[in-house]
Amino acid sequence: MAHPATNSAPAPWEDTKPTALLVLADGTVIEGQGIGSTGSAVAEVCFNTAITGYQEILTDPSYAGQIVTFTFPHVGNIGTNEEDVETIDMESETGVRGTVIKTDITEPSNYRASRHFDAWLKSRGIIGIAGVDTRALTALIREKGLANAVIAHAPDGDFDVDALKRQAAGWNGLVGADLAKDVTTAASFEWNETPWQWDKGYGERAEDAFHVVAIDFGVKRNILRLLAAQGCKLTVLPAIATGEEILALNPDGVFLSNGPGDPAATGTYAVDAIKAVIEAGIPLFGICLGHQMLALALGAKTEKMHQGHHGANHPVQDKTTGKVEITSMNHGFAVDGETLPAGVSETHVSLFDGSNCGLAVDGKPIFSVQYHPEASPGPQDSHYLFTRFTNLIRVKKGMEQRPE
């Protein structure tokens, strides 16, 4: 008896000329059908294990310079909308170079859908390839590490494969790449939008309890929303903001955002500003790249990961309490926990590989985490960290703390 899979109906793109290719730096050529924008782009291929939230993932500035492979097979079936976008500029291209999916896109089936996934990809300049065995590609990345590649989409199926191979093999990759400067805001701005609520949409901040300066290395909208929900009046500054510019705003707290690229490259200009905030004794909170930047400012080192962490199901343990949180992650670099200096404690670790996922400065109102407590997409186990940050500000100001 034949295996059921051999009797399944052929996919729409089978027996047709491929209109998209994913060409890896080792010469591997993966064929499929093109979706989204046309043309080609060179980037690093990673995989994301989330089963929801593809629109938020593809608009997360932390994915600049990458091609996202979704391990979940059904991507695009609920369409897209005008609300689930994470870039500050709702219409801007995020820096993500492409996406790889398995199953052909169906017509959207969701009451919030306003646009087909394919049309949305085109509008944001994202190249896609469908019909790929994403499990096999994921296994390849797990075995060999994050891969440099070229993704190409040509409706006529005409490709210069040799040229694409040379382009993929010749790309320098993300090590040494400062991508925060490509996604950060060009000028400072104020933020007051609060999180989405059922049948209400997004709200507005009702109080100005604190003034927080957020350094934008590629910040997500939902991070700013959760800070605003804590009563924070937010001033967002570009990644290149100096210590003097930050302190001149007399903030009650400073936030270091997520973002893309090699933290050591961004640190060449950002570390001095962070050191100035540390020396001023201002409560400080960092997420993702912000966590890595804080670690560098404290004297630790960062390193490139083998396959990175990308998904909404990553278990992290709080070493101070023993509590395990299921978190959302997106990073290809990590803090080397062995290099944390005296006076800096490792607070969180990944239960997948033991890598560093959090730190705190002993006796000072300074902490950071590698994962994304704002989720979007992902579980909300870690929302309490935003209250922890504002509680540090409350202590500094002599105010009563709130329960986390």
Phi, psi angle pair for 297, to nearest 5°: -65, -25
Pair (115, 166) in one structural domain: yes
Say whether 100 sits in a helix, a strand or coil: strand
pLDDT at 92: 72
AA letter at 64: A
Structure tokens at 39: 């043309």
pLDDT at 15: 58
The pairing of strands 284-287 and 253-256 is: parallel
Domain assignment of residue 37, yes or no: yes
Cβ pair 93, 63 in contact under 8 A:
no
What number of other Cβ atoms are within 10 A of residue 9's Cβ? 6
| Cα dist from 194 to 2, 75, 226, whole Å | 55, 28, 6
Pair (140, 83) in one structural domain: yes
For residue 94, give its domain range: 4-170
CA 336-351-67 angle, to 5 degrees, is: 70
Pair (166, 194) in one structural domain: no
Domain assignment of residue 97, yes or no: yes
Distance CA 104, CA 36 (A): 12
CA 124-130-135 angle, to 5 degrees, is: 115
Domain assignment of residue 404, yes or no: no
Distance CA 164, CA 129 (A): 15
Per-residue burial over 339-375, b if 16 or more Cβ lie within 10 Å, else e, is bbeeebebbbbbeeeebbbbbbbeeebbbbbbbbbbb
pLDDT at 14: 53
pLDDT at 4: 29
Pair (64, 104) in one structural domain: yes
Pair (125, 232) in one structural domain: no
Number of domains making up the chain: 2
Q: What is the CATH number of the domain that holds 290?
A: 3.40.50.880
Q: At what angle do helices 289-298 and 263-280 cross, to 10 degrees?
A: 70
Pair (229, 365) in one structural domain: yes
Domain assignment of residue 306, yes or no: yes
Pair (160, 210) in one structural domain: no
Pair (270, 360) in one structural domain: yes
Per-residue pLDDT of the chain (404 residues; tens, 9 = 90+): 233 232 334 454 455 899 999 999 999 999 999 999 999 999 999 999 999 999 999 999 999 999 999 999 999 999 999 999 999 987 777 689 999 999 999 999 999 999 999 999 999 999 999 999 999 999 999 999 999 999 999 999 999 999 999 999 999 999 999 999 999 999 999 999 999 999 899 999 988 899 999 999 999 999 999 999 999 999 999 999 999 999 999 999 999 999 999 999 999 999 999 999 999 999 999 999 999 999 999 999 999 999 999 999 999 999 988 999 999 999 999 999 999 999 999 999 999 999 999 999 999 999 999 999 999 999 999 999 999 999 999 999 999 999 99
pLDDT at 132: 98
Distance CA 203, CA 98 (A): 32
Q: At what angle do helices 384-397 and 221-229 cross, to 10 degrees?
A: 50
Q: Which of 168, 182, 169 is nearest to 217 (CA)?
A: 182
Domain assignment of residue 299, yes or no: yes
Structure tokens at 133: 């065995």
Domain assignment of residue 86, yes or no: yes
Pair (163, 199) in one structural domain: no
Pair (28, 115) in one structural domain: yes
Q: What share of the chain is helix, strand, coil (3-state, %, to 5)?
A: 25, 30, 45
CA 376-379-381 angle, to 5 degrees, is: 120
H helices present in 61-160, as ranges: 117-123, 134-144
Last residue of a domain, one of 170, 196, 211: 170
Pair (218, 137) in one structural domain: no
Distance CA 96, CA 13 (A): 25
Annotated active-site positions, please?
A: 288, 372, 374
Q: What is the CATH number of the domain that holds 56?
A: 3.50.30.20
Pair (28, 164) in one structural domain: yes
Element (H, E) at 297: helix 289-298
Last residue of a domain, one of 112, 137, 170: 170
Domain assignment of residue 21, yes or no: yes
Last residue of a domain, one of 140, 170, 200: 170
CA 169-45-155 angle, to 5 degrees, is: 80
The model's pTM = 0.95
